[in-house]
Amino acid sequence: MSSYKLKVLLCGAAAVGKTSLVQRFIKNRFATNYKLTVGVDILTKDVNYDGDEIATLSIWDIGGQQRFEFIRSTFYKGAAGVLLVFDLSRAQTYAEIRKWLAEIRQFAGEHIPFVLAGNKVDLIEDVGEVIDREEAKRFAEAENSIYIETSAKTGVHVEEAFGELTRRIIKSRSGQ
């Protein structure tokens, strides 16, 4: 049985729900009061993949604020994979995805595995569709990834997003 310790980054524009996703994933809770992530928060969780195999994820929740851009590059070092998050209720956050991916690849490596997460799927009912979700799916596939819609509020697909990312990292490491 092999055990992995993996550094995983959460990246994306400010207020897309990165911290809420981590809180939901690790503590299975959702807080309605929003607290800005200054710099980085690091949390750890064991993830089952491939049956009984376990990987320990060190999840780096990176502040998306523009003003943290200059320190962000230092956090990318040694990252094994990225959960790249945008907010399904704010089109601008999806428009910035390419910029984020370029930054990630610049500092963490061209072939770093990532999963594209459209968060706040629970809000689509209220705000309507503000981005082309099929386009998001096509974009992810074109970049050798997968697109998953999540909700930190309801918990939908949060485990799956982190699980899928873990599987992709391990697959890339074993050269499959």
Q: 5, 25 in Cβ contact below 8 A?
A: no
What pLDDT is attached to residue 35?
67
Q: 19, 41 in Cβ contact below 8 A?
A: yes
Domains (range + CATH), the chain: 3-173 (3.40.50.300)
Task: Please identify every stretch of the chain with a pLDDT value under 50, giving residue numbers as ranges.
Answer: none
Instruction: Work out whether the CA dihedral 15, 132, 130, 147 comes out positive or negative.
Output: negative
Phi, psi of 171 (to 5 degrees): -60, -45
Q: 118, 90 in Cβ contact below 8 A?
A: no
CB atoms within 10 A of CB 129: 10
What pTM was computed for the model? 0.92
pLDDT 10s digits, 103-138: 999 999 999 999 999 999 999 989 889 999 999 999
Residues 6+ apart with CB under 8 A from 33: none
